[in-house]
Structure 1
Amino acid sequence: MGIQAELRVAGKRIQRLPDPAGGSFDAAGDFDRLVLHENSALGLLGRLDPHGETRFGAGQMQQLIAEVELLLTLAKAGAEHRGLMRLRSMAEHCAEQHGELVFIGD
């Protein structure tokens, strides 16, 4: 399954977000290959626990978005790129709604 990210606002998981590719989504994933390798440029995503939970608050979203932008240049077309686009969208919503992103490992 890999790492999956969820957006939570006021402790509740957000179930529908507009997907950058159209439609809607409720979680982001498929970017494990890029975040689970040592990369000093990933101050936040490099700290993800692949087997537990990692939480980042709204105040960390600008840094997270910058890290996602870096990873988008390395992403494979398809699911990996789509997962990062969804993660960026979630981070933007998190910052706007003062929520938190929860990364859940398997």
Structure 2
Amino acid sequence: MGIQVELRLAGERIQRLPDPAGGFFDAAGDFDRLVFHGNPALRLLGRLDPHRETRFGASQMQQLVTDVELLLTLAKASTEHRGLMRLRLMAEHCAEQHGELVFIGD
């Protein structure tokens, strides 16, 4: 299944975010191949545990966006690109609303 990312505010999972491609979404994913290839340039995403939860808070979102921007240059599949765009949007909402992103491993 891979990594799935949820946005949580005050401990509650956000169920509906505007999708950059149109419509709505509630989680991000489909970028596992890019995260787990041992890229030392990924300061936050390189620390993900593929089997457990990893949490990042609002203060870490600027670095997360930097990691996502790097990965967008490596995305080959449209699903990877869509997942990364969703992750970037979630990071922006997280920073603005002082939430946390929870990366859930399989």
Matches of 1:76 and 1:25 in 2, distance apart? 21
| Map 1:58-69 → 2, pairs under 5 A | 58-69=58-69
TM-score (norm 1): 0.98
Other structure's SS at 1:75 match: coil
Deviations 1:60-96 (A, max 9, x none): 0000001000000000131110000000000000000
Q: What stretches of structure 1 of length at least 5 have no aligned partner?
A: none
Distance 1:85 1:45 in 2: 15
- Aligned CA-pair RMSD: 0.5
| TM-score (ref. length: structure 2) | 0.98
| Overall identity of the aligned pairs, in % | 85
* Deviations, residues 17-50 of structure 1 (Å, cap 9, x unaligned): 0000000000000000000111111010000000
Please list every run of at least 4 consecutive aligned residues from structure 1 whose deviation after the TM superposition is greater than 2 angstroms.
Answer: none
Q: Counterpart of 1:12?
A: 12
- Which runs of 5 or more structure 2 residues have no equivalent in the other structure? none
Which residue identity does 1:98 align to in structure 2?
H
- The correspondence of residues 17-96 of structure 1 with structure 2, limited to 5 A, is 17-96=17-96
Classify the secondary structure of the residue corresponding to 1:21. coil
